[in-house]
Structure 1
């Protein structure tokens, strides 16, 4: 049976939520302890997390959840073309230049794009429309994520060829019930695989980051003076700052794109009508 093209399933011009995953070749543990080579590749999980943070800050896509295991990873993504439409031409160009930079800093991070680089994209209507389309595309997110992990892993071991066994898989989540079930599946994945005994010890997962952020909030609330001194900048230090907020309140949340004022994520819209405490109780 012929597989549908991604553009026939997920249109970058409409808001959509998807469960996305990909697996390494032959199911080898190329993100963990590989029994074949006797090597440990846990550092590659950090590579993926770093890329997820970078993409969540620049793409017009919300990162709702993730879990990285020894031979595959899961993501829950929400495309936000409505947020991308609210960005100026210059911002669209600058974001793309930071995703695919022409120059890098000595530490390897993307250098801030120059005015000529921004004008090169912003001044061309055809190129600009294409880039604006890419910024809310699941295919471009996954293409660049898998490509960069593959190239870096192959360079590290002086290998060539395929790193992931196939193109990424994606399932559309059409209602809150399916989104809640998928979130629980992703967040409990390490426990189900007997890799971690609790959510708090589930390394390289979004739920662990949300729990740490909640614990940090409690600790800081006990020291009101320090929290007041740090002010709004305290939010940027949260372990889950690049993740989409969990809770959505349809009665009071603003209507519209609601782009995030932080440079760490796309929007401020949550995706589940429950608090973190209620969600964790459900997982238990």
Structure 2
């Protein structure tokens, strides 16, 4: 029996989660539907823009995404520090930007005088909405509901648009360590290449890889670091103390890894491993052959969580699991 979402997501175990949503209808989310020959390519920008917009409202940062023909992938980071630092006013203002809120909240945001009882109600609502701003289920709910309404309106129909996976119309996997995180980021960024929708990461439209590469191209000659898009969680370098918020890799290392992996996968040379391996593989101590296998089949290789055996055992104990799910060789 599938685990409920509250038993799959635990911020103290890991703040990183991979999510995927797929269409329930045969009609395509995006691209050209081969059955009807109708193009839905314009919907890619709907999904991309909404993902990035919600990342600026929620206390959840977008690490990676890829919008495909009938599904999309996204890697999210729950920013608990940002969530705790928001004032009640900022929480109410953010949530009211997503939903209409209510009369009492609207009065508070406008600066109207409220009595003590009214302020107590507002404070309770602020705490409830603060929790939701750091909740992946709410992030995916708002995203999927918006896209479903727009698509149904365009198709002049009603009914479910997303597969009813688990309880929120999406599947999620916890990324328990740096190895799992790196493999998942590469899996998402290289998805269009495996699907033969693009020849390289820099030409794969509506992906985080292209957005990062486009930003890096704008780096000034005298800059010490590559320019990064502010709508995505930034790469902040290898782990250190104190560790700032961000992806624990160097952007240059990750882009090199992405290019190397993409070339191998695209040419289908499973037995021909380049001797000049990217430094990030050496730091994470990952066997290159297992790396390629897992980046190619990440979604099917793992179910609820991905990570080393020790990481998986730790989270299973924390969440009260009776059995430990199988893990893949790359993360053992």
When normalised by structure 1's length, the TM-score is 0.78
- Deviation per CA, 1:101-139, whole angstroms, max 9, x where unpaired? 46xxxxxxxxxx95169x888852321111011000000
C-alpha contact 1:12 1:134 (8 A) present in aligned 2: no
C-alpha contact 1:121 1:127 (8 A) present in aligned 2: no
C-alpha contact 1:247 1:271 (8 A) present in aligned 2: yes
- Counterpart Cα distance in 2 of 1:27 and 1:169: 19
- Counterpart Cα distance in 2 of 1:121 and 1:169: 38
C-alpha contact 2:89 2:109 (8 A) present in aligned 1: no
- Deviation per CA, 1:257-281, whole angstroms, max 9, x where unpaired? xxxxxxxxxxxx22132x2222122
**1:249 deviation in Å?**
4.3
**1:12 deviation in Å?**
6.3
Which residue among 245, 251, 256 is the counterpart of 2:234?
A: 245
Q: Which residue of 2 aligns with 1:221?
A: 221
- Counterpart Cα distance in 1 of 2:156 and 2:111: 36
- Deviation per CA, 1:24-69, whole angstroms, max 9, x where unpaired? 1145422111122221111111011111121111100111000111
Q: Which residue of 2 aligns with 1:264?
A: none
Which residue among 203, 209, 217 is the counterpart of 2:211?
A: 209
Which residue among 107, 122, 125 is the counterpart of 1:124?
A: 122
- Identify which range, 155-164 or 18-27, moves more after superposition: 18-27
Q: Which residue of 2 aligns with 1:78?
A: 77
Which consecutive residues of structure 1, in runs of 5 or more, have no partner in the other structure? 103-112, 225-234, 256-268
C-alpha contact 2:14 2:176 (8 A) present in aligned 1: no
Change (3 A) 1:126 1:11: farther
Q: Which residue of 2 aligns with 1:195?
A: 197
Aligned residues: 245
C-alpha contact 1:13 1:133 (8 A) present in aligned 2: no
Which consecutive residues of structure 2, in runs of 5 or more, have no partner in the other structure? 102-107, 261-332
- Identify which range, 193-202 or 76-85, moves more after superposition: 76-85
Change (3 A) 1:277 1:116: same
Flag the structure with more relative contact order, 1 or 2, with Cα contacts below 8 A and sequence separation at least 6: 1
Stretches (4+) displaced over 2 A: 11-15, 26-30, 99-102, 119-123, 247-255
When normalised by structure 2's length, the TM-score is 0.67
C-alpha contact 1:93 1:121 (8 A) present in aligned 2: no
- Counterpart Cα distance in 2 of 1:280 and 1:27: 35
- Counterpart Cα distance in 1 of 2:49 and 2:218: 21
Q: Which residue of 1 aligns with 2:302?
A: none
- Counterpart Cα distance in 2 of 1:160 and 1:52: 23
- Counterpart Cα distance in 2 of 1:239 and 1:44: 25
- Identify which range, 244-253 or 205-214, moves more after superposition: 244-253
Which residue among 132, 135, 138 is the counterpart of 2:133?
A: 135
